[in-house]
Amino acid sequence: MKRRPALALLAACVCLAGPAQATDFRSLPGAFTLAAEESLTNELWILAATVDLRGQTADDLFLMSAGSAGTATNAPATIQLAGTARGDVWAAGDSIDTSGPIERHARLLGYRFVQIGGPIGRNLMAAGGAIRLTESASIAGDALLAGRDVISEGAVAGKTRIYADSATLSGTFGGDVTVVAAKIVVVPGTRIAGNLEYRAEPELILDSNVALGGKLIRMEAPKPVRARMTAGDAFLQLALGAAAFLAGLVFTSLFPAVMAASLHRVTTEFWKSLLLGFVAFCLIPMTAFFLLLTLIGIPLSLLSLFAYGILLYAGKIVGALALGRWLVYRGAQPPLLRLIPLLALGLLVVYAAALLPFPIDILVWFGFTLPGMGALAGAIMDRRSAVLVAVPQAPASGPPPLPGA
């Protein structure tokens, strides 16, 4: 059975939490199912292809799906929550569908879609391709929804913030509503107790059957501020790039096999490396925060934060080297001595991009760092890394065998 580096990373984060709290960790290559008559009392961490929870969980849930729901419109979601969750829910996967009650906070990330069809006792944060709150959904606190298409048909008791390309409002909103979208539709019969503040190109005109308790406010688009690049900024980025180049030389000379394996992974498995880098970027600081809450875990927390900083910095070096290789050689294998100029070229592009205006500079940083970070973490943890360079065996020191022996 093929082992996945993401499983090992998640297991390592949970093991660091150790005796601080009762934790139930499950990692499966296939499906994880909790039947309706089953219940779990411990904090639950799951990484599986699909997750189907129909029973009761008494503590927090950390769920990650590595599978895909396919292209069929009626295909089941890779994470389904039909049972009762009495703690917080953190979920990330291809698609998420919640129909059961979540008694505390819910934080959901679905690449294709997120659908909420049950009650949530506190706040909701949902992001993904498509976000939908069905008519049976109710949010007792605030709601933050970000996606390509957002449809809110349920009830939100607190404030609602929506960021989308297309936003459709229906149902009931107990507080102020803020919408930033290219297209906004407010269905007749919608009830908003507070203000409706929006930002869109066309002016929003409400139907007479829309009940608005507050005011309709159109926000002005922020005027772009062009910051002037000074010679000091360019010199600072040049100095940081030179420091990263020296650090890359040291790292490559001390750990050549890890660097070679990381470069191989980021060029051949880019999206897997990006996903693994995102998991490491999110889970390691969260684990360190949990460890700080206990006296026993403080040293481990500081150690994990130190390792996190190294992983971030080294991940940027791996990403820059992969960029330099792609710019010059594309799919070909470069000679070993050419890695040094390729690293310099990649770092030059990375630190030059830092002079671009916000948010382009941040997006470039994530685009290089996360894949390199994931490839580096996978190369370190994957014991099955292929040997990229064959080392010839030394000849035997003894005399050759006699003829006929």
pLDDT for 135 beyond 90: yes
**Bigger pLDDT: 12 or 238?**
238
Mean pLDDT value across residues 46-52: 88
- Looking only at the bridges linking them, the beta strands covering 216-218 and 196-199 are parallel
Mean pLDDT value across residues 343-368: 77
Run of H or E residues at 40: strand 39-40
Half-sphere exposure of 87 (CA within 13 A, CB side): 17
pTM passes above 0.85: no
Chain mean pLDDT for the chain: 80
Confidence at residue 271, expressed as pLDDT on a 0 to 100 scale: 78
pLDDT for 348 beyond 90: no
Please state at what angle helix 231-254 crosses helix 339-353, rounded to 10 degrees. 150
Per-residue pLDDT of 373-400, as tens digits, reads: 888 888 877 644 444 344 444 454 444 4
Per-residue pLDDT of 208-220, as tens digits, reads: 999 999 999 998 8
Per-residue pLDDT of 139-182, as tens digits, reads: 999 999 999 999 999 999 999 999 999 999 999 999 999 999 99
- CA 245/CA 343 separation, integer angstroms: 7
Confidence at residue 333, expressed as pLDDT on a 0 to 100 scale: 64
Confidence of residue 89 (pLDDT cuts 50, 70, 90): very high
Q: Which of the listed ranges 57-71, 187-201, 238-252 does the model predict with the highest average pLDDT?
A: 187-201
Confidence of residue 231 (pLDDT cuts 50, 70, 90): confident
- CA 236/CA 355 separation, integer angstroms: 10
Confidence of residue 37 (pLDDT cuts 50, 70, 90): very high
pLDDT for 83 beyond 70: yes
